[in-house]
Amino acid sequence: MKQLDFTLSLIDKLSRPLKQAQSSVTGFAEKSKAAFMQIGGGVLALAGTGMAIRGALSPAIEMYDALNDAASKGIDDQALKAVQRDALRFSTTYGASAVEFVQSTESINSAIAGLTGNELPKVTKVANTLAFALKSTAAETAEFMGQMFGNFSADAERLGRVQFAEQLAGKMVYMRKVFGTEMGTIKDLMEGARGVGTNYGVGLDEQLAVLGQLNRTLGTEASSAYEGFMTGAIEGGKKLGLSFTDATGKMLSMPEMLIKLQGKYGKSLEGNLKAQAELDAAFGDSSAVVKHLYGNVALLQRNITELGGSDGLKRTQEMASKL
> Residues 51, 160: one domain?
no
Q: Tell me what pLDDT residue 310 has.
A: 78
Q: Where are the beta strands (DSSP E) in 55-162?
A: none
> Residues 313, 193: one domain?
yes
> Residues 65, 145: one domain?
no
Domain assignment present for residue 263? The answer is yes
Q: Where are the beta strands (DSSP E) in 118-261?
A: none
Domain boundary among 71, 104, 120: 71
Domain assignment present for residue 114? The answer is no
Domain assignment present for residue 276? The answer is yes
What DSSP string runs through 234-252?
Answer: HHHHHHTT---B-TTSPBP
Going residue by residue through the chain, which has 323 residues, state the pLDDT in tens, using 9 for 90 and above.
Answer: 444 454 434 444 444 444 444 444 344 444 444 444 454 455 455 455 555 555 556 778 899 899 999 999 999 999 999 999 999 999 999 999 999 999 999 999 999 999 999 999 999 999 999 999 999 999 999 999 999 999 999 999 999 999 999 999 999 999 999 999 999 999 999 999 999 999 999 999 999 999 999 999 999 999 999 999 999 999 999 999 999 999 999 999 999 999 999 999 999 999 999 999 999 999 999 999 999 999 999 999 999 999 998 788 988 999 999 87
The values of phi and psi at residue 251, to 5°, are: -65, 140
Residue 214 and residue 135: Cα distance in Å, rounded?
24
> Residues 162, 40: one domain?
no
> Residues 187, 278: one domain?
yes
Q: Tell me what pLDDT residue 51 has.
A: 54
> Residues 190, 296: one domain?
yes
Residue-range definition of the domain harbouring residue 45: 1-71
In this structure, which amino acid lies at residue 243?
S
Q: Tell me what pLDDT residue 311 has.
A: 82
Q: Where are the beta strands (DSSP E) in 129-281?
A: none
Tell me which residue of 206, 189, 188 sits closest to 198, measured CA to CA: 206
Residue 208 and residue 213: Cα distance in Å, rounded?
8
Domain boundary among 44, 71, 98: 71
> Residues 158, 275: one domain?
yes
The values of phi and psi at residue 245, to 5°, are: -125, 155
Domain assignment present for residue 101? The answer is no
> Residues 149, 227: one domain?
yes
User: Left, alpha or beta for 312 (phi > 0: left; psi -120 to 50: alpha)?
Assistant: left
Domain assignment present for residue 94? The answer is no
Domain assignment present for residue 99? The answer is no
> Residues 246, 142: one domain?
yes
Residue 263 and residue 273: Cα distance in Å, rounded?
17
Tell me which residue of 93, 92, 86, 88 sits closest to 108, measured CA to CA: 86
Give pLDDT tens digits for 168-180: 999 999 999 999 9
Domain assignment present for residue 113? The answer is no
Give pLDDT tens digits for 94-130: 999 999 999 999 999 999 999 999 999 999 999 999 9
pTM for the complete prediction? 0.82
> Residues 152, 9: one domain?
no
Q: What is the count of structural domains for the chain?
A: 2
Residue 98 contacts residue 125 (beta carbons within 8 Å): no
Residue 308 and residue 302: Cα distance in Å, rounded?
10
Domain boundary among 53, 71, 89: 71
User: Measuring CA to CA, how many Å separate 178 from each of 42, 82, 145, 213, 304?
Assistant: 63, 34, 20, 9, 12
> Residues 165, 256: one domain?
yes
Residue 226 and residue 207: Cα distance in Å, rounded?
9
If one counts every other C-beta atom within 10 angstroms of the C-beta of residue 31, the result is: 13
In the 8-state DSSP scheme, what is residue 3? P
| Packing angle of the helix pair 138-151, 119-133 (nearest 10 deg) | 120
> Residues 151, 64: one domain?
no
CA geometry: angle 118, 120, 121, nearest 5 deg:
85
Domain assignment present for residue 226? The answer is yes
CA geometry: angle 107, 61, 139, nearest 5 deg:
15
